[in-house]
Amino acid sequence: MEKLVQGVHHFQNELFAEQKELFERLTTDGQSPETLFITCSDSRIDPNLLTQSQPGDLFIIRNAGNIVPPHGPNPGGTQATIEYAVSVIGVKRIIVCGHSKCGAMQALLNPESTADLPSVSHWLSHAEATRRIMKENYGHLEGEACLIATTEENVLNQIENLCTHPAVAARLARRDLTIHAWVYKIETGEVFSYNPTEEQFLPLNELVPVQARNYRRAVGAISQSVY
């Protein structure tokens, strides 16, 4: 706790003072981020640090496994936040970012590990398509290779779920919203982006849009990703 308190004082006395004009502007003008960033709750990921963005640049959703439940009649916080970001704030892009060494993906592959965690098990049911794809199409993979492929498949499947949200579907139809699939490799700092043309996660060089309505994916292909 002491470390956190010291951090607050350091922020107030040094960092805030250096960016006082930025915070004053954010207070006066409100927020207008152009990017909705959906990623995992894992403590090893810092979206602002990773993208070198400032306060006000990213609208962030974090949960176990960077999961996006399909649109449904019982909206939760993730669904409400997506709707607000897309319909009210008017973000221009959505990034769904998975990561290496993901505990949620490990649990998805080993459901017995969450037998005593009913809330976790229920949450991971929103990634059931990922689990089935892995079970039925990636039986040749083991260990780290299997976990990487699961992480990649999950990002793509969550994008499919994302596109079931009416606010997202409407913006995609107008072609004024793009969606991007990323995987962050914690141990090297690298970011890989799914390229629909190559059907691979490749080192991030530019923002390549991936939309469930038009991307092509050969099941099993992404397991050959460059990392």
In a domain, 46, yes or no: yes
In a domain, 18, yes or no: no
Bridge-based pairing of strands 93-99 and 58-63 is unpaired
pLDDT value of position 10: 87
Q: Which domain, by its residues, includes 129? A: 31-224
- The single residue of 40, 97, 146, 163 carrying the catalytic annotation is 40
The partner residues of 184 in beta bridges, in order of sequence, read 99, 191
Q: In sequence order, what are the residues at sequence separation of 6 or more whose Cβ sits closer than 8 angstroms to the Cβ of residue 118? A: none
In a domain, 13, yes or no: no
**Closest by alpha carbon to 46, among 151, 189, 147, 152?**
189
What pTM did the predictor assign? 0.90
What tens digit of pLDDT does each residue of 182-218 get?
A: 999 999 999 999 998 888 999 998 777 886 655 445 4
In a domain, 164, yes or no: yes
In a domain, 19, yes or no: no
- The single residue of 71, 97, 102, 165 carrying the catalytic annotation is 102
Among this protein's residues, is 40 annotated catalytic? yes
In a domain, 21, yes or no: no
- 222 pLDDT higher than 80: no
- The single residue of 99, 126, 165, 171 carrying the catalytic annotation is 99
Among this protein's residues, is 42 annotated catalytic? yes
In a domain, 26, yes or no: no
Residue 219: pLDDT band with limits 50, 70, 90: very low
pLDDT value of position 218: 45
**Closest by alpha carbon to 55, among 101, 95, 89, 21?**
21
Residue 15: pLDDT band with limits 50, 70, 90: confident
CATH number of the domain enclosing 91: 3.40.1050.10
**Closest by alpha carbon to 62, among 44, 75, 89?**
44
In a domain, 6, yes or no: no
Among this protein's residues, is 46 annotated catalytic? no
Among this protein's residues, is 44 annotated catalytic? yes
Distance from C-alpha of 19 to C-alpha of 167, rounded to nearest angstrom: 34
pLDDT value of position 216: 44
How many C-beta atoms surround the C-beta of residue 10 within 10 A?
11
Radius of gyration for the alpha carbons in the chain, expressed in angstroms and rounded: 18
- The single residue of 10, 44, 122, 132 carrying the catalytic annotation is 44
Look at the chain and report how many structural domains it folds into.
Answer: 1
What tens digit of pLDDT does each residue of 110-166 get?
A: 999 999 999 999 999 999 999 999 999 988 998 999 999 999 999 999 999 999 999
- Percent of the chain at pLDDT > 70 equals 93
Q: Are 165 and 79 in contact (CB under 8 A)?
A: yes
Cα–Cα distances in angstroms (integers) from residue 197 to residues 155, 156, 179, 218, in the given order = 17, 14, 15, 11
DSSP state of 54: P
Q: In sequence order, what are the residues at sequence separation of 6 or more whose Cβ sits closer than 8 angstroms to the Cβ of residue 26? A: 55, 56
Q: Are 164 and 78 in contact (CB under 8 A)?
A: no
Tokens of 32: 């207008």
Q: Are 202 and 226 in contact (CB under 8 A)?
A: yes
Among this protein's residues, is 163 annotated catalytic? no
